[in-house]
Each structure stands twice: as C-alpha cells, then as structure tokens.
Amino acid sequence: MKTLTKIALILVPAITLSVTVAAHDPSMHAKKAEKADCSKMDHSKMDMKDPVAVAMMKKCMKQGKASMNKMDHSKMKGMDHSKMKEKKMKKDDHKNH
C-alpha cells in the first residue's frame, strides 16, 4: 500500500468520527432561555445609526441590566437621548436590588 493511501485510510475515518462526536456534545441539545448578556457590549464602538446597535440597546434597556448605569453615553455616535424612555429605565432599575 502506498503511504498516501494509508494516511487517507486513517485520517478520513478519524476526521469523520471526531466531527460526529463534536456534533453530539450534549450541551448543544439543552436549550436554555438565556437573558441577553449586555455586559460585553462595547459602547464606545457602537454607531447608533446602525440598526443592529439600536436593536441591541433596545433589548438591553428592556431587560434593565445594571450595565446601563455604567454606560458612557458621551462616546456614542449619533445617540438621540430624547428618544429614550426615561420612565421605563427608572422602573427597570428597581429590579436590580
């Protein structure tokens, strides 16, 4: 047998098997209802003209995560504070203590 054939004979099943095993990781079957993780958001990089950024802000405000308080709004581009619901933010803040 050629060396190349031998290598192929070992590698092909090995790769196929490892791929199948990875796909069956039990954690992938468990659907957990996660809350949005707003702490990783880098607000200084967010452009408020981008619908994705606006949608993420909306989601995090609805969740009333404490991270809202730590946000540095001055670094955001094009953020319109008049459109934000002041009342809702205050109410949501109370969930955190």
Query: DSSP assignment, residue 41?
Result: -
The three-state secondary structure class of 72 is: coil
Binding test (CB under 8 A) with other proteins, winner from 6, 62, 90, 95: 62
| C-alpha torsion angle, residues 41, 38, 54, 96 (rounded to 10) | -140
Instruction: Find out whether 57 and 83 touch, Cβ atoms under 8 Å.
Output: no
Q: Where would I find the H helices in 1-97?
A: 3-23, 51-63, 67-70, 86-93
Residue 93 C-beta: closest distance to other proteins, Å:
16
Site for other proteins contains 21 (CB under 8 A) = no
Decide if 76 contacts 48 (C-beta within 8 A).
yes
Instruction: Confirm or reject binding of residue 23 to other proteins (CB under 8 A).
Output: yes
For other proteins, the binding residue among 2, 34, 70, 81 (CB under 8 A) is 34
In whole angstroms, the minimum distance from the beta carbon of 4 to other proteins comes to 24
Q: Which stretch binds other proteins (CB under 8 A): 1-9, 60-68, 73-81, 83-91?
A: 60-68
Q: Residues interacting with other proteins, by CB under 8 A?
A: 19-20, 22-24, 28, 31, 33-38, 40-41, 51-52, 54-56, 58-60, 62-63
